[in-house]
Structure 1
Amino acid sequence: MEIDKILESLSAGKISVNNAKKLLSLYSIEEVEGFAKIDINRSKRRGIPEVIFAETKEIEEIKKIVKKTLEKSNSVLISRIKKKDYPTILAFAKRLKITIKTGKNSSTLLLFKNPISFHGGKVGILTAGTSDIGVAEESRLMCEAMNCKCITGYDVGVAGIQRIFPILKKMIKEDVDCIIVAAGMEGALATLVSSMVDIPIIGIPTSVGYGYGEKGIAALASMLQSCSLGLSVVNIDNGIAAGGIAANIANRTIRKKD
Structure 2
Amino acid sequence: MKEIEELLKKLDGKTISKIFLERLAEGINLDHMRHLRAGKPEAVLAEFKTVDEVVEIAKKCVSEKRPVLFTRVTAEQSTALSELGLAINERARTARHMRLEEESGKVAIFAAGTSDIPVAEEAKETAEFLGMEVLRFYDVGVAGIHRLIEPLEVLSKEDVDSVIVVAGMEGALPSVVAGLVDLPVIAVPTSVGYGTSLKGFTALFSMLQSCSSGVAVVNIDNGFGAAVFAHLISKRVRKKRL
For 1:157, the aligned partner's letter is G
2:3 match: none
1:55 match: 47
Tell me the alpha carbon deviations over residues 86-139 of structure 1, each in whole angstroms, 9 at most, x when there is no partner: 223322x22xxxxx4343621111211xx7546211111110011111111111
Structure 1: distance between partners of 2:15 and 2:221: 36
Structure 2: distance between partners of 1:172 and 1:24: 53
Retained in 1: the 8 A contact 2:142–2:173? Answer: yes
Structure 1 pair 26/197, CA: closer, same or farther in 2 (3 Å)? Answer: farther
Retained in 1: the 8 A contact 2:112–2:140? Answer: yes
Retained in 1: the 8 A contact 2:82–2:88? Answer: no
1:250 match: 234
Give how far 1:233 is off. Answer: 0.3
Structure 2: distance between partners of 1:37 and 1:74: 14
Q: Aligned pair 1:155/2:139, yes or no?
A: yes
Q: Aligned pair 1:82/2:74, yes or no?
A: yes
1:105 match: 91
Structure 1 pair 20/191, CA: closer, same or farther in 2 (3 Å)? Answer: closer
Structure 1 pair 62/158, CA: closer, same or farther in 2 (3 Å)? Answer: same
Give how far 1:187 is off. Answer: 0.7
Residue 119 (structure 1) aligned to one of 99, 103, 111: 103
Q: Aligned pair 1:226/2:218, yes or no?
A: no
1:188 match: 172
2:61 match: 69
Aligned length: 232
Tell me the SS of whatever aligns to 2:213.
Answer: coil
Q: Aligned pair 1:42/2:31, yes or no?
A: no
For 2:38, the aligned partner's letter is R
Runs of 5+ unmatched residues, structure 2? 1-8
TM-score, normalised with respect to structure 1 = 0.82
1:213 match: 197
Structure 1 pair 103/174, CA: closer, same or farther in 2 (3 Å)? Answer: farther
Structure 1 pair 25/195, CA: closer, same or farther in 2 (3 Å)? Answer: farther
TM-score, normalised with respect to structure 2 = 0.87
Structure 2: distance between partners of 1:105 and 1:33: 35
1:21 match: 12
Tell me the SS of whatever aligns to 2:187.
Answer: strand
Q: Percent identity?
A: 40
